Structure 1
């Protein structure tokens, strides 16, 4: 049965004691949702799988399956293998270390006021993508006082994780 390779990024799962969901449970949720070949990547709500459904249906089905497991709805952001490849290629900060570059995945294109809403910028660099925002933290995320008011609308992954998910979605080992 043909299908598309997708990566789903769950918001607020296994972070700070909220949204506890084991990666085994996430793979099981994918099976319940009808997805095939589910593989998780690190314990922070990342899973790659195959589905013949479109992106919105994938997000809805997986969101429902996860809600059944943990008793609360979580945001599910989905990208197919090609979209992840484009996120990698569009990186506006190629000189940034992968662990200091965050990609904030959003459900829709960032609003025009996205950059003007940012506060407490020190040495951070920020750029808009198609449905992502790239944030480079030269001094590290933990030291930053950066305020991104819109970040609650999406979920962030460091560039190393994004690269690994892109490889998994492309079908690489």
Structure 2
């Protein structure tokens, strides 16, 4: 039986550059042999089924195909339904009590050591805060990520050096669980 996955594409369709039309992405993924391909929003999420079983290989294959088809490189993270559901279940914040814009998850392509975030003065950013999870970072930003000084600091390259990192708001996080459960 095929496993359901979500592909998270980093940095596409933002500000008019690095355009990846979702219909073309679906066709491209179907051409790679994936079944049940669906996209969510224009910001780089696709769900699909595959018998492959290797998330890193699936991500590399899709990234290579995107570069060949669209002419620019796109970082991709692929995660299965069980992982995505586990991220929601392990949320350290009361997601049901918050507005979705207040809670974000940054997915990492590999584990990031907690020591890497040791220099951040967490008290200076309160009530904003973050916690690490399984290849993920949960960010609570009560005034939204656009006004978050902590989000700005966490986006600095030194915190994600050596890994792909891509963030999604809570609505998208939970929608991907729903879409990969089909």
Q: Is TM (by shorter chain) over 0.5?
A: yes
Aligned 8 A contact 1:102 1:159 in 2: yes
Q: Are residues 99 and 131 of structure 1, via their aligned partners in 2, closer, same or farther at CA, if it must alter by over 3 Å?
A: same
Match of 1:114?
Answer: 116
CA drift of 1:117 comes to 4.2
Give the whole-Å Cα distance in 1 for the aligned partners of 2:37 and 2:120: 36
List gaps (5 residues or longer) in structure 1. Answer: none
> RMSD over aligned Cα, in angstroms?
1.6
Name the SS of the counterpart of 1:72 in structure 2: coil
Residue equivalent to 1:137: 141
**Unmatched tracts of structure 2, length 5 or more:** none
User: For 1:56-135, what aligned pairs fall within 5 Å after superposition?
Assistant: 56-94=56-94, 95-118=97-120, 121-135=125-139
Question: TM-score scaled by structure 2?
Answer: 0.87
SS of match in other structure, 2:142:
coil
Under a length normalisation based on structure 1, what TM-score does the superposition of the two structures give?
A: 0.91
Distance 1:113 1:97 in 2: 30
Question: Is the aligned partner of 1:165 residue 2:172?
Answer: no
Cα deviation digits, residues 103-160 of structure 1 (max 9, x gap): 0000111212233244662421100001000001101111112211225730000111
Output the CA distance in 2 between the equivalents of 1:114 and 1:93.
22
Give runs of aligned pairs for residues 9-20 of structure 1, distance below 5 A. Answer: 9-20=8-19
- Is this contact kept in 2: 1:4–1:50, CA < 8 A? yes
Q: Which portions of structure 1, spanning 4 or more consecutive aligned residues, are displaced by more than 6 angstroms?
A: none
1:113 match: secondary structure: helix
Looking at secondary structure, tell me which structure has more helix per residue: 2
**Are the equivalent residues in 2 in contact too, given 1:115–1:126 (CA < 8 A)?**
no
